[in-house]
Amino acid sequence: MKASAKQTSFYVKWGNGALELVPLYNSLQIRAKNYEFIFEPRSIVIEGKYGAKREIDHLNRKTVFIEFVEEVQPLNPPRIDIVGRNYVGNFEVVYTDLEFERYLTVITPADFLYDYFVLTSTDLMLYMQSKRKIYYEEEPFDKIIIYIQ
């Protein structure tokens, strides 16, 4: 799914470049040079080389980890729209750079089955209630779709 000219793109700082964020109807697309992510209310699509995946249940919370084979590489953006905290559509976006690692925290709308996610240069973490069931559809190491029920 590629952004069309009618869609609004926002660029969030990511190291020496940026990631492109495109709010779609009820989803958020994030593009990097070597990865593309689509976050929908009940699923997440990751296109790019991924390695291990795991789930951790702790008390009433569940965390899903997807590790990347390559670091997330920034795009060369036409501009930088977001540094720090801002809103993109119905998503609250927070960029944090600690010099040794970058974090993009996105708080999702209330109708999503996961509360928020954190994208780092090496992995993606999804946070949700522990009662959620997770299913995976995989194209080995090039694309993974995570379904949440």
pTM for the structure as a whole? 0.91
The answer to whether position 53 is within a domain reads yes
Domain span at 109 = 10-148
* Dmax (CA) of the chain: 45
Chain-centre distance for alpha carbon 113: 14
The answer to whether position 134 is within a domain reads yes
Phi, psi of 102, rounded to the nearest 5 degrees = -110, 145
The answer to whether position 138 is within a domain reads yes
Choose among 49, 51, 50, 42: nearest CA to 126.
42
Q: Give the separation between CA 113 and CA 109, rounded to whole angstroms.
A: 9
The answer to whether position 132 is within a domain reads yes
Task: Render pLDDT for 24-71 as a digit per residue (tens, 0 to 9).
Answer: 889 999 999 999 999 999 999 999 999 999 999 999 999 999 999 999
Task: Render pLDDT for 66-114 as a digit per residue (tens, 0 to 9).
Answer: 999 999 999 999 999 988 899 999 999 999 989 889 999 999 999 999 9
Domain tally, the chain? 1
Choose among 78, 80, 50: nearest CA to 64.
50
β-partners of residue 62 are 57, 128
The answer to whether position 1 is within a domain reads no
DSSP for residue 11:
E
Q: Give the separation between CA 55 and CA 38, rounded to whole angstroms.
A: 20
The answer to whether position 4 is within a domain reads no
